[in-house]
Structure 1
């Protein structure tokens, strides 16, 4: 074999290539890894283990917590030999100091009530805390011991916050609600532990199906749903939902309430007149239209004549000076529909006639016909000689009524 001869130029090219590769690696590391996290937790040591888990997760004191977790390694990992999963707390995770280790899947350390439920051979480090208290609020780190491979995910700290009070559920209602619309109302509650989900109840149908769903980040949500066909009666309706979290020796309950806002077409449209009754010619007349609608309606007044209906006003109140009798109605309308009121009749009387509308006392002679007038001739023959008797009585009638009464009496006389 011939010796390999490297010239000065070759050496320079080789060094340049190495520098370029180191630059690329440095750039990649700066993209994928946060140097601030390295400085704080990894002490500038490049980690060989990374986990995928929530950066921060909440738990309820006295309840359980499931931590969704998976991991990957940058160095050789042998899934054929014994794998030990380790949890440590505080910012000493990079250290092998046993004082910070709280759990090992080998059970050699078990200071906290937790267990790794995931299959470590499949790089699943999902972990279940069974009974938490507020003292467990801290930062946690995951570690793998796999023969000669030992690494801590120092760049992926997990912050656990343990609360004393439960989370209020959320009620999801679609926006822009309208009558006749069919919508799905959802009440959901954060579920830190799917093994012990909260019980949800509300003031809708109690047979709503409860289901626990996994979120994209691996956490869980429990929800109930109900389909509602909306009407105007749902506007202003309060929906309340409560979540009861089972915890040690008690139950923690939190409640949420929302008020529905439903748009609907006009309802109960009616028209009124002032003054009521007969209206003197030339006096001021006021017609008012009312309706219940959301959004508030516009109003249109129509007058009916022999030529049909004529639009006379677009105000809620129509005012005019009365000159002749007429028939009116109003229409309430919004973008969802319209509704028409019943008719209002405006009766106009002259000033002279208006003066006579007061009650007056008139005397008149009333001849009452004998009973024989209403009997057959054979039955009344023996009464022919009887004299008709004239009676007087006080009768309160109007001028027009009196004229009619006289006309009726004269007809009877004939």
Structure 2
């Protein structure tokens, strides 16, 4: 073999090596020339829709687009290989093929590198991994596979029957009085065409509310409502509720809520003294006040005219002989407040004069009642011997009961011009009792008996 031939063969080998190496490098680097950006996870609500925000980029995209006869997107479920037996084409925009869903719409413009897609009427069996595939016929085809790079992760749809509760920030709300509070409540909006509504409850009347739909860094959306108000000490331990209501294609909407308790720090307020009777002639003075925190309050008691404190603590016991004006001062780390003075006169309990007056009044009322009853009853005397002309009578319309000082025998009533006549036998007056008639009938030209069967 001549040297010239050996030189040509060597050159061909070098040329072949360079070409093959170039192909391998291009294949290896092809993965770096395209990528898609989408959230790793989206949470969908059954009976609603879910939007998958999606963008992509390809090297020399404009050049490939000019050469392509068509461009369309495909969504695969479960696996990224379109030819695998487990692969499932849920959507193909080229022929508007939809499988397993009532509707799927690609709202993004592929020519603008936007592959955002909305899946409607989500059901529980729609949970799983979804892969986006781009086909630019006949120039370029690629499925955006998952990789270690976060920007190339595919999306997983998690379907729930109930939404997550809204997020309240800050979750720990402890503030000083008279400061301005800003509360933020956010609720996921997986279906921007049917976003949740946010409402607040148990908020101060002066609160100001603003609500808007916002886009998060991963391009998913949420409804954010902001509450602003100035805190009063009366707002201490107020439970503020944020409620999110999700519309859905079911009979009932889904409602979830989150509650945060407002804790207000303030010095003592509404300080006052309560006087209560104690054992014997003693009285107890109790100092009351509203403050936060309330577990480290200091109480100091003063008597009018004395410069030094007379006692410490929430309560003091005094005798009624310790007359004078008293006040208390309550203090915590945020301030102090003094009560108004109370006067202890030694006559806080009911006096004997008052008791006597009350008893006398009751006896007077009782005597008036007795006299009224006696006026309504006329005294009966013994009748004449013929038994037909009794000396005592009373009108039937005035009779409630008869107070007779004798035991009656053979009594009866004869109606004569509406006059009640009573016949009786006289007995020992020491046996006088009060009897009540159980029956009284008055009919013209008739009579009936009155039976005194029970004591009044």
Common fold by TM > 0.5 = yes
Structure 2 vs 1, CA of residues 305 and 230 (structure 1 numbering), >3 Å: closer, same or farther? closer
The aligned residue for residue 195 of structure 1 is: 193
Say which structure, 1 or 2, has more relative contact order (CA 8 Å, 6+ apart).
1
The 5-angstrom pairing of residues 207-218 of structure 1 reads 208-218=209-219
The aligned residue for residue 138 of structure 1 is: 128
**RMSD of Structure 2 on Structure 1 (CA):** 3.9
**Residues 29-88 of structure 1: CA distance to partner in whole angstroms, max 9, x if unpaired?**
9xxxxxxxxxxxxxxx96864321111111011211111111234687723233222110
Between the aligned partners of 2:57 and 2:31, the Cα distance in structure 1 is 14
Aligned length: 309
1:233 aligned counterpart, secondary structure:
helix
TM-score, normalised by the number of residues in structure 1: 0.63
Between the aligned partners of 2:98 and 2:297, the Cα distance in structure 1 is 73
**Alpha-carbon deviation of 1:222?**
0.8
The aligned residue for residue 182 of structure 1 is: 180
Within the alignment, does 1:226 sit opposite 2:227 as a pair? yes
Within the alignment, does 1:57 sit opposite 2:42 as a pair? yes
**Alpha-carbon deviation of 1:320?**
8.4
Between the aligned partners of 1:154 and 1:230, the Cα distance in structure 2 is 52
**Residues 324-343 of structure 1: CA distance to partner in whole angstroms, max 9, x if unpaired?**
76643211122333221122
The 5-angstrom pairing of residues 112-123 of structure 1 reads 112=101, 113-123=103-113
Between the aligned partners of 1:216 and 1:108, the Cα distance in structure 2 is 30
Between the aligned partners of 1:229 and 1:68, the Cα distance in structure 2 is 39
Within the alignment, does 1:104 sit opposite 2:92 as a pair? yes
The aligned residue for residue 94 of structure 1 is: 81
**Residues 97-131 of structure 1: CA distance to partner in whole angstroms, max 9, x if unpaired?**
59522212212533242222222223221111122
Between the aligned partners of 2:185 and 2:304, the Cα distance in structure 1 is 57
Structure 2 vs 1, CA of residues 137 and 257 (structure 1 numbering), >3 Å: closer, same or farther? closer
**Alpha-carbon deviation of 1:345?**
5.0
2:75 aligned counterpart, secondary structure:
strand
**Alpha-carbon deviation of 1:316?**
2.6
1:309 aligned counterpart, secondary structure:
coil
Contact 1:242–1:253 at 8 Å: present in 2 too? no
**Alpha-carbon deviation of 1:273?**
5.7
Between the aligned partners of 1:265 and 1:107, the Cα distance in structure 2 is 72
The 5-angstrom pairing of residues 13-412 of structure 1 reads 49-73=34-58, 78-80=64-66, 81=68, 82-91=70-79, 93-97=80-84, 100-107=88-95, 109-111=97-99, 112=101, 113-146=103-136, 147-155=138-146, 156-173=153-170, 175-203=173-201, 204=203, 208-263=209-264, 264-272=266-274, 287-296=285-294, 298-304=297-303, 309-318=307-316, 327-344=325-342
Q: Which runs of 5+ in 1 are unaligned?
A: 5-10, 12-17, 30-44, 349-356, 360-414
TM-score, normalised by the number of residues in structure 2: 0.58
Between the aligned partners of 2:225 and 2:234, the Cα distance in structure 1 is 23
2:125 aligned counterpart, secondary structure:
helix
**Larger gyration radius, structure 1 or structure 2:** 2
**Residues 193-224 of structure 1: CA distance to partner in whole angstroms, max 9, x if unpaired?**
11211122232479944311111111111132
